[in-house]
Amino acid sequence: MEFTEFRKKYNITLNPQQESAVTRADGQTLLLAVPGSGKTTVIVARLGYMLYCKGVKPENILTMTYNVSAAADMKKRFFDKFGCEFEGRIEFRTINGFCAKVIMMYERTRNTSAFSLLDEGKVTKIIKALYVNMTREFPSESTVKELKTKLIYCRNMMLKPDEIRKIKVGEIDFYSFFTAYRNYKSENRVMDFDDQLEFALKILLKNQDILTYCQNRFRYISIDEAQDTSKIQHMIIRLLASRYKNIFMVGDEDQSIYGFRAAYPQALLEFNTVYPEGKVLLMEQNYRSSADIVNKANSFIKQNRCRHDKNMFTENPAGLPVRRIVLKDCKYQYSYIQKMTEDSDDELAVLYRNNESALPIIDIFEKNGIGYRLKENDGVFFSVNCIYDILSILQFAFAPWDAALFLEFYYKIGLKIKKDIVTRSLVKHKNSNISFFRTLEKDDGLEKWHYKLLKETEHNFNHLRKLNSFSAITFILSKMEYGKFMKSRGLDETKVKTLLALANQNPDLSLFLARMTELKNIVTNGSSDPDSKIILSTIHSSKGLEYDNVLLIDVRDGIMPSSSVCGEDEEDMTESQRNDLEEERRLFYVGVTRAKHSLAIFDYEAAYGVKNETAAFTRQLFGIETDKKKKSQKSEKTSTLKIKAPSAADKAKVRKKEEDALKVLKKYKPGTRINHRVYGTGVIEEIKAPICRVLIDGGDIHSFDIVYCISNDIVSIAK
């Protein structure tokens, strides 16, 4: 079938860049596809082209993507487009799925059995048991999650022992934990999903017959989301494609946001080195977003250095300007979001970096009966060490007889008493309903200075009960020295800011504690409206999706970008810091490019009363100069300024200009587009002469004296 006939028969419309990709069936190809460029459409159309126009056998084609749902979606779209003629003959798999097939082949041909595969639940149980065995303490859910993530990272990045020894997870010796986990699996003949990758790679390297079979079977390999593929996965793919050299990789290093899970975007940058005969193709037209969103996103991501040079563009209309919503304090963002949802029936996705950012929104939505869809949450926030500690301290204030609670945090608030004294007192205190301080005071191991310390501590707890929720938490951080403990252990202070936001919305301390239990149950068990047009999602979970309207929240230095890359001049950064910053920038870019019609980003003048400078990424997206640079420029201008008193003639000229301006003013009405020499082009929202309020195309709102601006040729009607 000729290509023209193929396109007509299957109603396939392609732009020139897409057509170049679809018709490149043979050889080694890297297709770099910007957000909203139709990459899935191209992958599916290319498969059809190979089958109907090039005569490739469906059994010789393998299409792999990053997760089961993506593979299922690709398969569905293919059969929806071309029918079921090749069902059961063409394969759509995850890379893990392919590796499982290699292992099964090895078992069958060698008459042996591989280790049993662990499910996620069993992996979690093993990790918890090993942690308890090593530390004699139970791990929090957040610690278990972090250990899992680091284990995945080590194997997928193929780290050597010396590299693993550098990894830190709390106070545990991670290398010893890694070794214990590996030994447990070996001794019990079990493996996890990452072991599948390692085992399959070894099989292919050591068994030429199995490798040759796989190479002959899958002569054409397509890889979707190549930027999210790990180092070991790229090794497997490279080995599989080494015989026939037909590999089609689709991805975009600008959208690689899973570095913590060992995504390896460097493979895209190294493509021409690994595949010297290969060709790099571009798909740069965005069909999703309005022009203002596309233009700002394109300029923003170009600040990254480790990337292919691409120029995202669109033929879509300019649409609504990207808005920068400036709030006096970040605490007002939640009531603002509530009002936005009440005033509109349109789809709105509220996107954020971390799951906990959704909690204050969920709190306010649940109280006001506002439906929402929650893309992902797990309640891990409440088990994060600092959050768990602060809530335990507050609970003890209302239950001073709870010695078990006291044992968990006493040394973290500067109470320097030996553990054996506390544990001995705990045994004596069993089933007692009096304050634990009374039992502690009776221990013979106490010294004189201990009594004063205990009295001060008890006084602090009595004082806590009288405070509102917000003040109580700040009191724990400062007066009870828990903030000092957090800094000494390197605990994440941004988590506490979310707790403060929840405290601000729930001022009564006892009700606040009850509300935290309710919220934990809500996010753990799920409570959302599947029909709601309000979506709450992390940026990671929104990847691959699109929404009519997007609101980005918590874009603050320390959150996005994270604290690990804040406060450093990019030129002075180490390579590791710069890599982290570039991934942070990619994350923000992915959030921005989810929006189709409108995008708004919160900016905050303060965070709970503490002055807050506009976040680095917000400044970069909107082209805002730093306060430091502004002051420098103002200083330069001031130093050269010469003041001269106006003459009578000058005053007369000014009056004449103002009179002429008043005559012209009637042409300026709400809705009129104007050019402002300083602020740029915008639309008049309101005029109460002489003050005019204008929505600038960049998203800012400015008010100025319209009469003065007309008379001095600062403002004109846009043509």
Instruction: Give percent above pLDDT 70 in the chain.
Output: 94
- What sign does the CA torsion over 186, 190, 193, 199 have? positive
Q: Comparing 574 with 106, which gets the higher pLDDT?
A: 106
pLDDT of residue 484: 92
- State the alpha helices, DSSP H only, in 573-647: 575-592, 616-622, 627-640
Span 418-451, pLDDT tens digits: 988 989 998 888 888 899 999 998 888 888 888 9
Rounded Cα distance between 344 and 98, Å, is 46
Span 661-695, pLDDT tens digits: 777 888 888 888 888 776 678 888 888 767 777 77
Give mean pLDDT, residues 405-430: 90
The least confident of 215-224, 357-366, 610-619 is 610-619
Q: Which two structure tokens, joined as six digits, stand for 366? A: 């649940």
For 285-330, strand residue ranges (E) read: 323-327
Average pLDDT across the chain, whole number: 90
Closest CA to 425 of 452, 407, 449, 398: 407
How sure is the predictor about 646, in pLDDT bands with cuts at 50, 70 and 90? Answer: very low
Instruction: Give percent above pLDDT 90 in the chain.
Output: 68
Whether residue 561 is preceded by a cis peptide bond, meaning omega within 30 degrees of 0, is yes
Rounded Cα distance between 719 and 707, Å, is 20
> Above 90 in pLDDT, residue 183?
yes
Span 282-299, pLDDT tens digits: 999 999 999 999 999 999
Q: Yes or no: say if 192 and 117 are a contact pair by the CB < 8 Å rule.
A: yes
How sure is the predictor about 650, in pLDDT bands with cuts at 50, 70 and 90? Answer: low
Q: Comparing 642 with 492, which gets the higher pLDDT?
A: 492
pLDDT of residue 652: 63
Give mean pLDDT, residues 265-280: 94
97: buried, middle or exposed (CB in 10 Å: 19+, 13-18, 0-12)?
middle
Q: Comparing 164 with 666, which gets the higher pLDDT?
A: 164
Give mean pLDDT, residues 630-637: 45
Report field, pTM of the whole predicted structure over 0.95: no
Closest CA to 581 of 546, 613, 532, 617: 617
> Above 50 in pLDDT, residue 697?
yes
> Above 50 in pLDDT, residue 632?
no
Rounded Cα distance between 62 and 446, Å, is 72
